[in-house]
């Protein structure tokens, strides 16, 4: 028998990390529901807890996560009704030793960052492959206003990145839930993520970028049958 399929192994790790996050959820809380395959495991597990009697209200970070939560009977609320979230559980594309993250591989970074910013605790769940010494191997997603796309692409390229417009399988530009485009910015190792985050935030036309700095409270990394808990 050959080695286990890496994707399958990763998926088991994603589920294990998601399961470990359940202990952060308490009865009566408002819970932010992340996006992506690891967050999907979390939402499904949370749905099981709700069926067993857990009373929470969820705030989803994407149209997909909202549809999934609704299909599982998880009661939902909105940021219009409630601006304080006890805990959000979400995935990540990369995590560095300072718990700085790259997010947005699934294209939901804007709502994810808004929900994270309103959360007392942000619990990140991930398989071990997401842990890196330096951020940047994963192309940094930057959500842009379509009007400013060419200008922003040029400015980010001038910072040293190869900039690629994200497309859907049919070749048309990928549209976010807020109807913006995403630039996937290949920086390679990012020497100073904090400085880059500031530069991108200051760039007119950038709606949001995928550097999440100072936001994660806990990272639950699954690997080798164990869960490692990282804290800032």
User: Among all residues, which ones are annotated catalytic?
Assistant: 112
| 1 token code pair | 């028998």
Binding flag, residue 220, ligand 5RP (CB under 6 A): no
Q: Rounded to whole angstroms, what are the CA distances from 222 to 8, 84, 129, 196?
A: 13, 29, 9, 29
The least distance separating ligand 5RP from the CB of residue 44, rounded to whole angstroms, comes to: 13
- By CB under 6 A, name the one of 32, 58, 60, 106 that touches ligand 5RP: 106
Contact letters for ligand 5RP, residues 111-140 (x by CB under 6 A): -x----------------------------
Q: Rounded to whole angstroms, what are the CA distances from 212 to 52, 96, 198, 202?
A: 34, 11, 11, 15
The least distance separating ligand 5RP from the CB of residue 190, rounded to whole angstroms, comes to: 17
Contact letters for ligand 5RP, residues 65-104 (x by CB under 6 A): -------------------------xxxx---------xx
Q: Which of 31, 222, 29 is nearest to 130 (CA)?
A: 222
Binding flag, residue 43, ligand 5RP (CB under 6 A): no
Binding flag, residue 58, ligand 5RP (CB under 6 A): no
Q: Which is nearer to ligand 5RP, 104 or 223 (CB)?
A: 104
- By CB under 6 A, name the one of 29, 38, 149, 176 that touches ligand 5RP: 38
Instruction: Report the relative pairing of strands 181-186 and 140-144 from DSSP bridges.
Output: antiparallel
Q: Which of 135, 132, 124, 144 is nearest to 102 (CA)?
A: 135
Binding flag, residue 216, ligand 5RP (CB under 6 A): no
Instruction: Report the distance separating Cα 167 and Cα 184, nearest Å.
Output: 10
The least distance separating ligand 5RP from the CB of residue 43, rounded to whole angstroms, comes to: 11
Residue 48 CA neighbour count, 13 Å, CB half = 8
The least distance separating ligand 5RP from the CB of residue 112, rounded to whole angstroms, comes to: 6
- By CB under 6 A, name the one of 29, 35, 153, 180 that touches ligand 5RP: 35
Instruction: Report the distance separating Cα 166 and Cα 50, nearest Å.
Output: 36
For the chain, counts of helices (H) and of strands (E): 6, 13
The least distance separating ligand 5RP from the CB of residue 159, rounded to whole angstroms, comes to: 22
Q: Rounded to whole angstroms, what are the CA distances from 158 to 10, 82, 92, 162, 163?
A: 36, 40, 26, 9, 10
Give the binding site for ligand 5RP (CB under 6 A): 34-39, 90-93, 103-109, 112
């Amino acid at each position: 028998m050959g080695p286990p399929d890496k994707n399958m192994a990763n998926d088991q790790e994603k589920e294990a990390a998601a399961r470990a996050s359940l202990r952060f959820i308490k009865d009566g809380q408002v819970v932010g529901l992340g996006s992506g395959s690891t967050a999907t495991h979390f939402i499904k597990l949370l749905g099981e807890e709700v069926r067993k009697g857990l009373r929470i209200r969820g705030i989803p970070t994407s149209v997909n996560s909202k549809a999934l939560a609704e299909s599982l009977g998880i009661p939902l609320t909105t940021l219009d009704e409630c601006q304080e979230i006890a805990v959000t559980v979400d995935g990540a594309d990369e995590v560095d030793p300072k718990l700085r993250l790259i997010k947005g591989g699934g294209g939901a970074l804007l709502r994810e960052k808004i929900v994270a910013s309103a959360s007392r605790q942000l619990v990140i769940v991930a398989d071990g492959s997401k842990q890196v010494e330096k951020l940047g191997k994963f192309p940094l997603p930057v959500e842009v206003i379509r009007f400013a796309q060419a200008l922003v692409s040029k400015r980010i390229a001038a910072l040293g990145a190869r900039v690629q417009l994200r497309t859907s399988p049919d070749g048309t530009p990928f549209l976010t839930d807020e109807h913006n485009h995403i630039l996937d910015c290949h920086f390679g190792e990012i020497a100073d993520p904090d400085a880059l985050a500031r530069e991108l935030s200051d760039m007119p036309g950038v709606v949001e970028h995928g550097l999440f700095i100072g936001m994660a409270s806990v990272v639950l990394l699954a690997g080798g049958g164990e869960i490692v808990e990282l804290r800032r």
